[in-house]
Structure 1
Amino acid sequence: MAAAGRDQDYADVLERIRAKHETAVDELLQAQEADRLKAVVERDLGEIRDILRAVVLTRGESETLREIISGYGELWSTQIMTALLNQNGENFHFVDARRVLRVVDTPLGTEVMWEESKALLDAVLEEAGDRNIAITGYIASTQTGGATTLKRDGSDFSASIFGRLLGASEINIWTDVDGVLSADPRRVPDAQVLPEVSYNEAIELAYFGAKVIHPKTMLPAISARIPIFIKNTFNPEASGTRIFVPSELTVLRKSCVAGFSTIDNIALVNVAGTGMIGVCGVTQRIFNVLAHANVHVQLICQASSEHSLCFAVKLSDMDRVKKELQDHFSREVSQGQLSAISTVSPCSIVAVVGDGMSSATGVSGRVFDALGKAHVNVVSIAQGCDERNISIVVHSDQTERALRAMHSAFLLSEITVSVGIIFDENDIAKNLVDLLTQRRGNIQTRFSSDLRVRGIASATKMLLSTGEPLGAADSLDASSEPVDFEKFVSHIQSDHLPHALIVDCTNNASLAQHHVSLLARGVHVVTANIHALAGPLTSYNQIMSERRLGKTHYGFEVSIAGGIPIQAMLKPIVHGGDEVTAVAAVFSSSISHVMGRIRERSAGLDSPHITFSAALAEAVSHGMTEHDPLDDIVGKDSLHKLLVMARELGLALTEEDVHVEPAVPVDELPPPTTGDGSAATRKWSVYDQVMRDKMESAASRGNVLQYVARLNRQGDASIRREEVPAESNMGQLPGGNICVCLWTHRYAHSPLVVQGPLGTPSATASGLLADILRLVSELGGRDRGPNRLRRTPSMEALATPGGSPSNKV
């Protein structure tokens, strides 16, 4: 109150109030009615001036005076609304709620004197006759007739009270949102309006921070079984939310959870010690201390061992509570019966609310699975026996991540993954960004997932998104920010997004060394970079150790065979109880291309003469080779892929265990001068004649040359140029393709074969996207199948009597 400190500036405040109301009535009402209401406002302002003068003179104030003064706003606004309605042809009678609504304050809050209020209201209704009534909200009168208010959210409370007194069929509360939401939209942008919630669900959500409706508002409606409708003043066409008794819509809703809400700025206080075990009265003493300190307890949790008891209080009360308890239990602490009283802060309570939770199994499992996958640490847990609310305490900096992860887990919103892409000079990253941009809508629909590219980086620069996800139009050319790996990863692993993913599109051995640390800090990794898995066994074992913990996903299918699903073929064999006994593979698409092109001439096909060096130059231009094609020629690329495959089959294979021969006979001719890719390729002409001779020699025996990697279950491994029968799978392999043949106990005579083209950036990008979608599936993004099925002209032709594709299409 402006007068509380003997400050007569209240006169300026009252003058502004008067001017504001005079302007409103002049704009809304005709002159005669406007003058009448201005006189009412002036009269009431005179009463307020008298009260404030008394406050100045007595140098004090009281809650009663505050309530008297704060009620005038409701009186004026309701009278203006009544006059405006009547001016527009309606027939309304103004009612001052203080005439009819009698209340009494109790320790549990405001209590309505129902019988007395009903009698007073009946008299006013008789006075109003056939007119509608406009009643003030917020204000009421005491048992003795003194002015009072209904305190916080009193206007909505008034609506519920009068709904019960009048025997209304429904109560409509107009606010500034479309209804009760499944979560706070500021924290969960995909929060949805709930068409219906039960009274109990609404009370739970309201208690835990949902601001749409206060729990006390619903009490009169609950006792009279009157539905409450939450509507938006600024969007009256919206259907809003119906709050009523539990129904099939609330109990049997598909997600079984209605929504999520939070209480922030919380501290946990923990009292522990062996002296508490089996001792009666300790809990009573703790809460007596809190009661005497007038501290409200938000949540309580005690282990069945009785060794400890923790409870949540407001953060502002933490220090005071800790001191009070330390003082009270000082003797027990000094004697070792209680350990030191500890606190954890700042925290938030996240509540999972839903009537359907009580009849559904696995709800808690889904909650904690979602939190675990989002790397959210749960500090404490509480659940009532009605199973309508699971309350979880988390550290404040993880609140948004927890909310989004759980919201996604119950299919109330999309699973959101923050994606960072790292690349070198290849075009894989550009193709992947283009693919993610093109497929984003399909992924959102089919997997209920949102893959947000929030950063791209090269060896020198990076581009970070602070708003909309990066797309096909975004390029590092527009960025001048130097690359900072730690800053890049921290940006991708944002606190407000539940899942972070780094996609390594490089072939950089130094970057591969960071994979383990990324997994350890909770960042998922999808990679085309084989160095981490094909390097020292210690690196491989560390990555597998992080994978076994189950907290992060490591996708590396592309590193072995691009978009060709070698790993997807291996897993069912191993998991199904079979065993791979031997592997034969052409891993290098570049050497496959070279051999295929030379073979065309050697087989007498009508094609231009293709030399070894020219075919290799083609492979370089198509992006099939490593940066230096010497890595392909000497078998380094094939060696890395064989090592990873062997280790996935359970063999502790190292580079020293593999016999490797180059793809060309380097022992017979001097090695070429190597440099960058193009320079190295120009020097390969020294091998043109010898490679043609060897190819023609093999053809004379009905064979072809391939560069083959072999492995058996005893760990014997080799990579060398071989002659293979022309009729075999490898003999008929098209140039530029790879081929993997697997022999198992069940497929001992005829191998399982997978083959296909490899090496183009677009194919690798597709393989990376497939690996990313495997991560999405692990996070709960179940494949819902095609959004719709289509019919082709051929189908329609066949469906027509007498029709066929040939004469209809």
Structure 2
Amino acid sequence: MQVLKFGGTSLGSSKNINKVISILENQTKNNKVVCVVSAIAGVTDALLKAGELAKNKDTQYIKAFQDIQKKHLLIVEELKPMHNKEIQSHLKDQLGDLKKLLDGIFLINELSPQTTDKLMSYGELLSSYIITEVIREKGIAVTRKNGQELIITNSNFTKAEVKFDSTNKQIHDYFSTAGQDLTIVPGFISKSERNEITTLGRGGSDYTAAIIAAVLQVDTLEIWTDVSGMFTANPKLVKQAHPISFISYQEAMELSHFGAKVLYPPSVQPVLFSNIPIRIKNTLLPEHEGTLITNNPKYYNTEKSPATGITNINNIALLTLQGGGMVGVPGFSKRLFEVLASQKINIIFITQASSEHSICFGIDEKDASIAEQVINETFKYEIETFKIDPILVEKELSIIALVGDKIKNHQGVSGKMFSVLGKNNINIRAIAQGASERNISAVIAEKDVKKALNAVHERFFESNTKQLNVFITGVGNVGERLVEQINQQKNYLIKHHKINVRVAGLSNSRTMIFNAEGLPLKNWKQDLAKGQNASLSTFFDTVKSFNLRNSIFIDITANTEVSQLYEHYLKESIAVVACNKIACSSSQKNYSLLKELSLKYNAPFLFETNVGAGLPIIDTLRNLMASGDKIISIQAVLSGSLNFVFNNFNETTNFHDVVKQAQIEGYTEPDPRIDLSGVDVARKILILARESGFEMNLEAIKNESFLTKNNLNSDSIDDFYNTLIEDEAHFQKLYKSANQKGCQLKYVATFNKGKAHVGLQEIPQGHPFYNLEGKDNIVLFYTQRYPEQPMIIKGAGAGADVTASGLFADIIRIGKN
């Protein structure tokens, strides 16, 4: 004998019912089967709504009834049974009785618990009739046994308590003589010892199936639903969630208690006591194994993670009773919980400080107002005498729970959980861990649930693969190369570094696009061209609203307004990777603020490309400082664009053309005046000085420009280029002077004893800068450990590809953090 239970979603359409029938046909080939069915999806709620409307004298109850009638008749029509007319006629008779019941509720303006049970019973009676009659036409020996004739209860309407002695006898006596291959039983409904219609409350159909399975001592109770078992997390919120192959009763109950809706724990108590396994199966994908719930130890020790799953409950209110008058005074907890019990308020979560100064507990948000009222009334004297504070109520919260039998045998599980929440700026309002150590629960803001579930799931269930959600603004020459590099290296990073980089937002100066699940990068240029109008504030608001774990904002602009948003991103624990030099070369106060916010909100702030494009200059400097070394002086050629210009300028070329070529090849800023004026180099040496531990502002750097006043006073980029033509003789004079001395022209930045200087220098042969070619940069760090022979970093310091690779390196650094 087998017992199968099908939920409402499995019966929600003619297509699904046909799948149910197919499953039952297959199961009855070798076994006798008891099939317990719920009402068609949504019907129980619709019945209750119709009843409430009728009770409130709202004639819309007629429309609600008509919708229920239409749903059932349409399903039968689509199933196309041979005896369609007879089935439709019988259904209309039953639906007519339902209409009369609703009319009566409307007339007397009352809906008692007893009438409510009678009203709700129609859902299972209708669904079980339909499926029985359709199966009968398949030639299967089938009968419908009304659950009200099997399940005997008391008269506690809407949540009746089962009388097991009489119920077990009814079930045993009936099935010991039943000869049919298949018995359809409507779940949820029952009758009292007084022959009154009752229902079994939430999870009632599961309860019916579990009671029958326990009496018949079947090998396994199968519960069929619309998902392939219990998942490591809610797959609607965590895309990487996967079915759990095996799980203990205790783990299943913990997950179900904290929000996993596949199972309602009290309803399966009968099979738990009989140690009968439960298998959760997917009606829509019957070939999937689903989840086996069992306490048989042979199925365990197969999972790598000490945790089995993570789940959540939303709409939680957190109430805190606190005050110095509670310390050492017995009875506070008793009075508190008694008054809640008197109002039938269920406590979902509880924790108490060891100081006895406070008790904190979570309840359903809908019960918060009445709880606040009755608690304040109960402790009125203590509140008025300032022994305790009025009850503190916080709303819009959720509970997340990490569950697993093996948690108690592994050290550091709670540390890992809270660490990953903290790194994602998820504030924990309260924590609880049961004595069994099977469950670690935390109360967080409801808005953070998706991020929290994904972050914790990634930490415990995804082979330590870390997902980074990247938002890029400034998708020009460098940005385009970065997107290409991310797309090209995606699989490599997952395989070799366990980092999954996902681009969730892109913007240029005109348009922007977003996708919280990751943008498809195959045709991103065309998609971006069709995007919404670009807006810096909307871009930030969207990144914030997505609230994705491990979010990174990447600025590849030279825009002051973008740099002013860094602090807002950091305050949301969103990492910032900046190619834009403006923020780090702004006032010392702003630079220090950004560094402080990065530490405070655990949001990396990286800007390697500010100084040497893809060269690891800042990273090397930070490592020197972290190891205890100190900077004595810095000498550097930090402008790849200026190095390119002076390496290609001579008596046979003209300065204007060489600068133009540098701009076309992407070596200069969009405005080449920034590079040629020395401002760009000054910003770079300023950043290195600050990273060396010195406080300095840009105005303190001595900048000796090689440009003419005519060049510096130009009104536009075009005007600037015109002045370069006009002043060609000036630039030829600079070249001739260096050439006559056997020197090379290099734009050099120096930092020594707290002072910085930038300017064009004639570099003699033998100097490390002399043979610097193309667009290369070079930095010499003289430190306490390298006082005579400096640490030298040399390589390409400009260009879209190397700059993009520098940004990519910062992204990977965050991923490895």
Q: TM-score range by the shorter chain?
A: 0.7 to 0.9
Question: Alpha-carbon deviation of 1:589?
Answer: 0.9
User: 1:626 aligned to 2:660?
Assistant: no
CA distance in 2, matches of 1:295, 1:332: 22
Query: What is the letter of the counterpart of residue 574 of structure 1?
Result: M
Report which stretch shifted further, 247-256 or 753-762.
247-256
Question: What is the percent sequence identity of the aligned residues?
Answer: 27
User: 1:710 aligned to 2:760?
Assistant: no
Corresponding residue of 2:806? 767
Is the 1:564–1:756 Cα contact (8 Å) retained in structure 2? Answer: yes
Summarize the Cα distance change of 1:614–1:694 in structure 2 as closer, same or farther, 3 Å threshold.
farther
Summarize the Cα distance change of 1:473–1:442 in structure 2 as closer, same or farther, 3 Å threshold.
farther
CA distance in 2, matches of 1:623, 1:165: 79
CA distance in 2, matches of 1:275, 1:364: 32
Summarize the Cα distance change of 1:499–1:490 in structure 2 as closer, same or farther, 3 Å threshold.
farther
CA distance in 1, matches of 2:73, 2:153: 29
Is the 2:159–2:199 Cα contact (8 Å) retained in structure 1? Answer: no
Query: What is the letter of the counterpart of residue 327 of structure 2?
Result: I
3-state SS of 2:375 partner: helix
3-state SS of 1:391 partner: strand
Is the 2:116–2:158 Cα contact (8 Å) retained in structure 1? Answer: no
CA distance in 1, matches of 2:399, 2:426: 13
Q: Deviations over 1:697-723 (max 9, x none)?
A: 342xxx5443322334x3354334445
3-state SS of 1:652 partner: coil
Question: Alpha-carbon deviation of 1:432?
Answer: 3.2
User: 1:755 aligned to 2:807?
Assistant: no
Is the 2:157–2:199 Cα contact (8 Å) retained in structure 1? Answer: no
Question: Alpha-carbon deviation of 1:441?
Answer: 5.3
Of 730, 738, 752, 1:687 maps to 730
Is the 1:259–1:353 Cα contact (8 Å) retained in structure 2? Answer: yes
User: 1:343 aligned to 2:388?
Assistant: no
Q: Deviations over 1:451-472 (max 9, x none)?
A: 33324143xx442436763753
Of 495, 503, 510, 2:554 maps to 503
Is the 1:258–1:354 Cα contact (8 Å) retained in structure 2? Answer: yes
TM-score (norm 2): 0.82
Corresponding residue of 1:649? 692
User: 1:583 aligned to 2:639?
Assistant: no
Corresponding residue of 1:798? none
Summarize the Cα distance change of 1:485–1:107 in structure 2 as closer, same or farther, 3 Å threshold.
same
Report which stretch shifted further, 426-435 or 670-679.
670-679
Query: What is the letter of the counterpart of residue 749 of structure 2?
Result: A
Is the 1:416–1:452 Cα contact (8 Å) retained in structure 2? Answer: no
User: 1:525 aligned to 2:525?
Assistant: no
User: 1:735 aligned to 2:774?
Assistant: yes
Query: What is the letter of the counterpart of residue 747 of structure 2?
Result: Y
Corresponding residue of 1:463? 512
Is the 1:179–1:240 Cα contact (8 Å) retained in structure 2? Answer: yes
Summarize the Cα distance change of 1:682–1:254 in structure 2 as closer, same or farther, 3 Å threshold.
farther
Corresponding residue of 2:525? 473
Summarize the Cα distance change of 1:366–1:128 in structure 2 as closer, same or farther, 3 Å threshold.
same
Of 765, 772, 776, 2:815 maps to 776
User: 1:566 aligned to 2:605?
Assistant: no
Is the 2:323–2:387 Cα contact (8 Å) retained in structure 1? Answer: yes
Of 211, 216, 221, 1:166 maps to 216
3-state SS of 1:381 partner: strand
Which consecutive unaligned segments of at least 5 residues does structure 1 have? 602-608, 779-809
Aligned pair count reads: 757
Summarize the Cα distance change of 1:636–1:55 in structure 2 as closer, same or farther, 3 Å threshold.
closer
Corresponding residue of 1:402? 452
CA distance in 2, matches of 1:658, 1:485: 31
Corresponding residue of 2:422? 372
Query: What is the letter of the counterpart of residue 635 of structure 1?
Result: G
User: 1:226 aligned to 2:276?
Assistant: yes
Question: Alpha-carbon deviation of 1:158?
Answer: 1.9
TM-score (norm 1): 0.83
CA distance in 2, matches of 1:621, 1:18: 69
Query: What is the letter of the counterpart of residue 659 of structure 2?
Result: L
Is the 2:282–2:288 Cα contact (8 Å) retained in structure 1? Answer: yes
Summarize the Cα distance change of 1:356–1:689 in structure 2 as closer, same or farther, 3 Å threshold.
same
CA distance in 1, matches of 2:596, 2:99: 76
CA distance in 2, matches of 1:54, 1:590: 87
Question: Alpha-carbon deviation of 1:430?
Answer: 3.4
Summarize the Cα distance change of 1:527–1:218 in structure 2 as closer, same or farther, 3 Å threshold.
same
Is the 1:205–1:260 Cα contact (8 Å) retained in structure 2? Answer: yes
3-state SS of 1:204 partner: helix
Report which stretch shifted further, 42-51 or 492-501.
42-51
Summarize the Cα distance change of 1:452–1:415 in structure 2 as closer, same or farther, 3 Å threshold.
farther
Is the 1:177–1:231 Cα contact (8 Å) retained in structure 2? Answer: yes
Corresponding residue of 1:254? 304
Report which stretch shifted further, 1-10 or 149-158.
1-10
Is the 1:348–1:396 Cα contact (8 Å) retained in structure 2? Answer: yes
Q: Deviations over 1:203-231 (max 9, x none)?
A: 12212222211112331222222221111
Summarize the Cα distance change of 1:375–1:662 in structure 2 as closer, same or farther, 3 Å threshold.
same
Q: Deviations over 1:458-494 (max 9, x none)?
A: 3xx442436763753247654673x543333111211
3-state SS of 1:326 partner: helix
3-state SS of 1:625 partner: coil
CA distance in 1, matches of 2:264, 2:755: 73
Corresponding residue of 1:242? 292
Corresponding residue of 2:27? none
Of 730, 740, 749, 1:697 maps to 740
Of 475, 482, 493, 1:432 maps to 482
CA distance in 1, matches of 2:698, 2:126: 87
3-state SS of 1:364 partner: helix
Question: Alpha-carbon deviation of 1:684?
Answer: 4.7
Question: Alpha-carbon deviation of 1:330?
Answer: 2.1
CA distance in 2, matches of 1:248, 1:656: 73
User: 1:90 aligned to 2:140?
Assistant: yes
Is the 2:246–2:293 Cα contact (8 Å) retained in structure 1? Answer: yes
Query: What is the letter of the counterpart of residue 739 of structure 2?
Result: E
Is the 1:672–1:686 Cα contact (8 Å) retained in structure 2? Answer: no
Of 680, 683, 686, 1:640 maps to 683
Summarize the Cα distance change of 1:682–1:292 in structure 2 as closer, same or farther, 3 Å threshold.
same
CA distance in 2, matches of 1:7, 1:492: 45
Is the 1:593–1:619 Cα contact (8 Å) retained in structure 2? Answer: yes
CA distance in 2, matches of 1:304, 1:695: 78
Summarize the Cα distance change of 1:651–1:258 in structure 2 as closer, same or farther, 3 Å threshold.
same
Summarize the Cα distance change of 1:29–1:680 in structure 2 as closer, same or farther, 3 Å threshold.
same
Corresponding residue of 2:20? none
CA distance in 1, matches of 2:451, 2:773: 49
User: 1:549 aligned to 2:582?
Assistant: no
Which consecutive unaligned segments of at least 5 residues does structure 2 have? 1-49
Larger radius of gyration, structure 1 or 2? Answer: 1
